[in-house]
Amino acid sequence: MRVDDLLRVAATRLADAGSPTARLDAEVLLGHVLGRERSWLYTWNDHRVEGFPRARFAALVAARAGGEPVAYLTGEREFWGLALATGASTLIPRPDTECLVETALALMPATARRVLDLGTGSGAIALALASERPAWRVTGVDRIIEAVALAGGNARRLGIDNADFRVSDWFSALAGQRFELIVTNPPYLADDDPHLAHGDVRFEPRSALVAGDGGLADLRYLIEVAHDYLAAGGWLLLEHGMTQGEAVREALCRTGYVEVATQADLAGLPRVSLGRHDG
């Protein structure tokens, strides 16, 4: 079957299964099977795909129609222009989180800084920052051993040598260390959040998504404890849900942070709140 016919049939199936990005999903999956960029699929749209590649593509389309995330099926997701390996032990990097990276880069000078990424997962945030700021020393921590191994592998594959990764349950392995910048995308969904029943999050690790206290427990804990790991004048940046900005700002102010503010994501929704340690 020709490339364009394969894509048309697959996109129809995925659309019928409820995928909002059916055509894109089909193109990414076929490009993955053939080892080609999406642009190649348009240039060589009459190329015939048969045998194992066709069967493999059909299997991936079936899995995607069943709801499995494209990033898990291909083992890769792009974030901040970096091709990151992904796995079922971590969240899938999302474009909204680039707001956190943008805010951090705009906030801090390019000169040597110590930076901490809490709950690093695939290393997306840490590696984005390290790739843009070679003078920064970025540490990413996660309590999941498989996530730390995945992040370290991404750093090596991308040739980013100013980021390192270690196992730590939040700050547990960081006693006595101080950082000029701490960033985090912690769990912030309530356990009854309706989003948990839809889309890719159904397949992502629940421990990386859900927090107690209506989704605010980890955010409030990190705000309180980060004080002990921030250098004087250091900044804390936290990604959160679109309705949580006010609660996060209140927690930051109550804990003694100054210059507290919230930044919007690509959709214009409150996504990242920050405060400076006035110590």
Same domain (yes/no): 51, 93: no
Q: How many domains does the chain have?
A: 2
Same domain, 50 and 132: no
State how far the Cα of 193 lies from the Cα of 233, in Å rounded to an integer.
36
Alpha helix (H) ranges present in 17-50?
A: 22-34, 38-43
Based on the fold, state whether residues 35 and 169 are members of the same structural domain.
Answer: no
Q: Which of 189, 215, 179, 188 is nearest to 104 (CA)?
A: 179
Q: Is residue 191 part of a domain?
A: yes
Contact 77, 33 (CB under 8 A): no
The verdict on 256 and 177 lying in the same domain is yes
| pLDDT tens figures, 58-81 | 999 999 999 999 999 999 999 999
Let me know whether 41 and 113 are in one domain: no
User: Do 115 and 238 reside in the same domain of the chain?
Assistant: yes
pTM: 0.91
Dist. CA 267–CA 273, nearest whole Å: 16
Question: What phi and psi, each to the nearest 5 degrees, are found at residue 127?
Answer: -75, -35
> Are 161 and 43 found together in one domain?
no
- pLDDT tens digits for range 153-204: 999 999 999 999 999 999 999 999 999 999 999 999 999 888 888 888 898 9
**CATH code of the domain covering residue 146:** 3.40.50.150
Residues 54 and 91 in one domain: no
Q: Is residue 31 in some structural domain? A: yes
Shared domain for 42 and 128, answered yes or no, is: no
Domain holding 50, by residue range, is 3-67
Residues 63 and 88 in one domain: no
Q: What is the pLDDT of residue 196?
A: 86
The whole-number pLDDT of residue 183 equals 98
Please check the confidence at residue 145 and state whether its pLDDT lies above 90. Answer: yes
Residue 129 and residue 37 share a domain: no
Examine residue 232 and state whether it is found in any structural domain, yes or no.
Answer: yes
The CATH number linked to 21 is 1.10.8.10
In 10 A of CB 161, how many CB atoms? 10
